[in-house]
Structure 1
Amino acid sequence: MDTKALLIEEAKNLFQQKGYKGVGLNEILKECEITKGALYHHFPNGKEELLISCLQSMQEEITTDIDMIFQQHSSTLTATKTLVDKLTAELDSGNKIAGYTFSSIVSEISSLSEPVRNACTALYEEIQKIYFKKLLNDGYPEEEAASLSLFMTVSIEGAMTLCLAKDSTLPLSNINAILPRLLKD
C-alpha cells in the first residue's frame, strides 16, 4: 500500500473510532509510521484535507456495496431489507458498521468548512440516487421516488446511529418491519 493510501486507511479508522477532533496528527503519523513531511507531501492542507479524502473513500466503499445489493434484487423492498439485514448482522457480530455510518463525524465537523460539508453531503446524495433509481424501476412516480429515497436515507442512517447509541439492533429491525407497509414488492 502506498503512503497516501495508508494515510487515508489509517486516518479513516481512527476518525471512525475517536471522531475527527479526538484524533491528532501525531497519532495518525505514529499509526502510519511516517513523518509529518510525508503527510504534508500528500495532504498539503493537513488534517482537514486528509479527512475529505477519507470521506471520499468511505463514499466509494459504501455506495459500491449498496449499489451491488440493489442491483442483485428485483425490488426496492427486497434490496432494502437485504441491506438492513446485512447491517444488523454486522452489528450482531460485534462490528460497529463504521463503514456505513459517519453521522458522528458529520455532526462533529459539519461546521468546519464548506469542503468538508460538501464531502459529507456527496455521500448521502449518492446513496439517495441508488434508492431513487431503484424506486423508479419499481414504477414509482419521480416525485414519490424522490421523497421515498430521502426518507429511506434518513431512516436507515438514523437507525444505525440509534443502534450504536443503544447497543441494540432493534432500530434497524423496526425498519424491516415497517418497509412492507411503505414499499411495494
Structure 2
Amino acid sequence: MKKTSTRDKLIYAMADALQRKGLHGVGLNELLEVAGAPKGSLYHHFPGGKSALAVAAIEHISQHIDSLFERLFAQQADPLQAMHHWLQGALQQLENSQFERGCPLATIALESGPDDVEIRAALQRSFNAVRQALSRQLQAHGHSDEQADNLAALFVALYEGGLLQARVAGSSEPLKRAAAALFNLTRTPLAQGARS
C-alpha cells in the first residue's frame, strides 16, 4: 500500500478546510495539525505558502470531480440520472455535515479578491474543467456539442447557486427545487436532441 506523502496530506487537509471554512477561515497551525505534518513542511512543499497550497487543493478537487463524473456516467445509461446522483451525493454530504460542507470551489471563489490572482486563475481553470468534463460525458451520450456545453454550464451554475442557498438556509429545499425544475425542463428536449 502506497504511503501518503506529507505534500498530499497537506493538500487533502486544505481541500477539506476549503469546503468547510474557506481559505480565510483556516489557520496554518490547524492545517498542519490535521495533516499531521511538522512545522516548516508547508513552506518546504509550497514555497508560496497558504495560497500555493490552496491552488494545489483546487487542482486536486477538480481532478476528483472529473473522475467522479467518469464513474457516475459509466454506471448510468441516462446522463440526467447521473447528474441527479451527483446532486444527491452533494446534498447528502451537506445534510450529514449539518450544512457545513458546501462546494469548496464556491467557498473560496466568494472570498477571493482581486489580489488573489493565482487562486482566481486556478478557480477559473477548475470551473472550466468541471464544465468540460460534464460536457464530454453528455456528448458521449449522444448530445450535440452545443447542447452539451450549454447544459453543463447551466447545471454547474445550478449546483453552485443551489448549494450556496441550501447551506445558508440550513435546508436542502433550494437545491432540490432548482434541480427538479431543471430536470423537468430538460428531459424532453434532451431526449429529442439525442435522437436527432
Whether the 8 Å CA contact 1:106–1:120 is kept in 2: the answer is yes
How do 1:4-83 residues align onto structure 2 when only pairs under 5 Å count?
4-83=7-86
Instruction: Name which of structure 1's ranges 3-12 and 42-51 shifts more when overlaid on structure 2.
Output: 3-12
SS in 2 for 1:102: helix
Q: RMSD value over aligned CA atoms?
A: 2.3
Q: Which amino acid aligns with 2:44?
A: H
Q: Give yes or no for the alignment of 1:109 onto 2:128.
A: no
Cα distance between partner residues in 2 of 1:31 and 1:116: 22
Q: Give yes or no for the alignment of 1:90 onto 2:93.
A: yes
Instruction: Name which of structure 1's ranges 136-145 and 74-83 shifts more when overlaid on structure 2.
Output: 136-145
> Against the structure 1 CA distance between its residues 100 and 70, is the aligned structure 2 distance closer, same or farther, given a 3 Å change threshold?
farther
Cα distance between partner residues in 2 of 1:63 and 1:110: 26
Cα distance between partner residues in 1 of 2:36 and 2:138: 46
Partner of 1:181: 185
Cα distance between partner residues in 1 of 2:23 and 2:108: 6
Shift of 1:128: 1.0
Identity within the alignment, %: 25
Whether the 8 Å CA contact 2:73–2:79 is kept in 1: the answer is yes
* 1:46-101 superposed Cα distances (whole Å, 9 cap, x missing partner): 11111111111111222211221122212221111222222223333336584744
Cα distance between partner residues in 1 of 2:144 and 2:180: 24
| Count of aligned residue pairs for this structure pair | 185
Which runs of 5 or more structure 1 residues have no equivalent in the other structure?
none
| TM-score using structure 1 length | 0.85
Which runs of 5 or more structure 2 residues have no equivalent in the other structure?
192-196
Whether the 8 Å CA contact 1:77–1:180 is kept in 2: the answer is no
